[in-house]
Structures are given as structure tokens and as C-alpha cells.
């Protein structure tokens, strides 16, 4: 299963390094040297990764000129989830979509989507309403439910 890593937004320099804007968790697992990323159904093997401001800077094996990769700028970047080797208690944000949301013992709906306001602020979307991640008390992937703290007027 492929998961969205982020978006290739810019190049950096003339040697083919690219800037990816990404909110994905476990960046050390995603951007690990040797992992394969997909951009427009083309596969690229990661040679190097570093952080620069709000970007993940990536170099690929065999790409050493901006002209080899510039035409893909603006494309989404994907990775095969199996490459991440997530532990049983680790999850990606996309794994939460479709889970039931409870406030206390009351079922209030399902996660429709996740919205990112910036790198640190994420919101669950339920019935066109937003729940900040900070209000999550527990995520139970096995039973497919999320327990949220009760806040007056939340839903």
C-alpha cells in the first residue's frame, strides 16, 4: 500500500536535490537511505536526507543534475508503507481515517479526514467539524476507535 509522503515543491541548487514539504510521522524511517520514493509513478532511491527550514531535502541515486528531476516539481511523493517497518504501536495519520470517535463512551462519528494547519497542528475532521489532536486521549487501532477528551461545545 502506498502512502502519501508529501509534495515535491522545489529544487535546491543545480545537482538535483529536491525540497519536499511533508507532515508525515517517522521521517527517519521514510527518508532512510536506500528507501524508494515514487513521484509520478517513477521510482527514485534515496541517497541522502537532511532537514532545512520546513523542508525535507532529498538526494536520489543517479540524479546529479537539476534537469533530471525538475519536470516532476509540484508532484506528490509516495512510499510503500511496508518499507517503514512500523511497530504495532506506531501509526500513520492516514491510518486514523475511518476510525470511530468517542467522547467518553458516546460514539460521535468517524474520522473523515485529517487537516494540517502547520507542521505542529493537526485536526481530525468529523462531520465537517474539527477536533484538535491535543484532545485525543487514546487511539485504539485494534478496536478501530479514538477516545477524545470531553470539551464543552466541541461537537
Q: Which residue from 74, 82, 90 is spatially nearest to 39, judged by alpha carbons?
A: 74
Per-residue HEC secondary structure of 79-125 comes to EEHHHHCCCCCCCCHHHHCCCEEEECCEEEEECCEEEECCCCCEEEE
The number of residues making up the chain comes to 155
Q: Which residue from 77, 47, 42 is spatially nearest to 62, judged by alpha carbons?
A: 47
Q: How confident is the model at residue 15 (pLDDT cuts 50, 70, 90)?
A: very high
CA 9 to CA 20: how far, in whole Å? 6
Q: Which residue from 66, 96, 67, 91 is spatially nearest to 81, judged by alpha carbons?
A: 91
Task: Say what the pTM is.
Answer: 0.79
* pLDDT tens digits, one per residue of 85-142: 988 888 888 899 999 999 888 898 999 888 877 656 677 777 788 888 888 899 999 8
Structural element, H or E, at residue 20: strand 17-21
Q: Going from the N-terminus, what domains does the chain have, and what CATH number goes with each?
A: 2-84 (2.40.30.60), 93-148 (2.30.30.240)
φ, ψ of residue 118 in degrees (nearest 5):
-160, -170
- The yes-or-no verdict on residue 153 having pLDDT over 80 is no
Q: Which residue from 67, 47, 45 is spatially nearest to 59, judged by alpha carbons?
A: 47
Amino acid at each position: 500500500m502506498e502512502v502519501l509522503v508529501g509534495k515535491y515543491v522545489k529544487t535546491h541548487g543545480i545537482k538535483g536535490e529536491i525540497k519536499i514539504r511533508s507532515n508525515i510521522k517517522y521521517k527517519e524511517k521514510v527518508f532512510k537511505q536506500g528507501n524508494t520514493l515514487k513521484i509520478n509513478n517513477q521510482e527514485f532511491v534515496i541517497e541522502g536526507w537532511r532537514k532545512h527550514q520546513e523542508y525535507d531535502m532529498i538526494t536520489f541515486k543517479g540524479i546529479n543534475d537539476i534537469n533530471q528531476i525538475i519536470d516532476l516539481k509540484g508532484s506528490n511523493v509516495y512510499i510503500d508503507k511496508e518499507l517503514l517497518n512500523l511497530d504495532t504501536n506506531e501509526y500513520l495519520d492516514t491510518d486514523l481515517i475511518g476510525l470511530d470517535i468517542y467522547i467518553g463512551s458516546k460514539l460521535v462519528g468517524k474520522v473523515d479526514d485529517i487537516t494540517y494547519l502547520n507542521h505542529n497542528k493537526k485536526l481530525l475532521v468529523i462531520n465537517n467539524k474539527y477536533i484538535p489532536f491535543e484532545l485525543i486521549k487514546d487511539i485504539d487501532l485494534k478496536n478501530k476507535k479514538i477516545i477524545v477528551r470531553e470539551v464543552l461545545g466541541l461537537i
